[in-house]
Amino acid sequence: MESLKTEASKKEYEKYVKEVTPVHSLPANMLKAFIVGGLICVLGQFLLNMAQGQGLDKEKAAAWCSLILVLLSAVLTGLNIYPKLAKFAGAGALVPITGFANSVAAAAIEYQTEGEVFGKGAKIFSIAGPVILYGITSSWIIGLIYWILKICGVVG
């Protein structure tokens, strides 16, 4: 008798979960991510071309492009526009540099009531810390591999 009740409650629960779980279309999500991510890249290319058109060399133009994209993302996060864009586009808005800026700015905004150091400061580094750590570690490993290959004469 007890197992029948358990089976019935499991079936009711599964039915409930199916009713409340949103259904997503993978092709539609991929298309939205592609379009929004592409538009972010087009904006980045536009900024890069504009900076080079003002006489900056490629490195300085790229630095200005990155800075402007990060600034735009942080401002749009503060205005609660970027989170809506990220919800719509998914990875298309979260993968580029703007997504990283959004995650750092969102943490600062969310924890501002905790204070400057233990709120904003701690949460910003809890988001940015792993990215910086793995970025430095992976670049060190790749540099080491390159150095070994250069010593062996595989690369020039």
Q: Flag residues of the chain having pLDDT under 50.
A: none
> What is the reported pLDDT for 152?
93
pLDDT at position 68 is 94
Measure the CA angle with vertex 81, ends 34 and 122; round to 5°: 100
- Provide, for the chain, the percentages of residues in helix, strand and coil under a 3-state DSSP scheme, each rounded to the nearest 5: 85, 0, 15
pTM confidence score: 0.65
Q: What is the pLDDT of residue 28?
A: 92
Residue type present at position 151: I
What confidence score (pLDDT) does residue 1 get?
Answer: 56
pLDDT of residue 42: 95
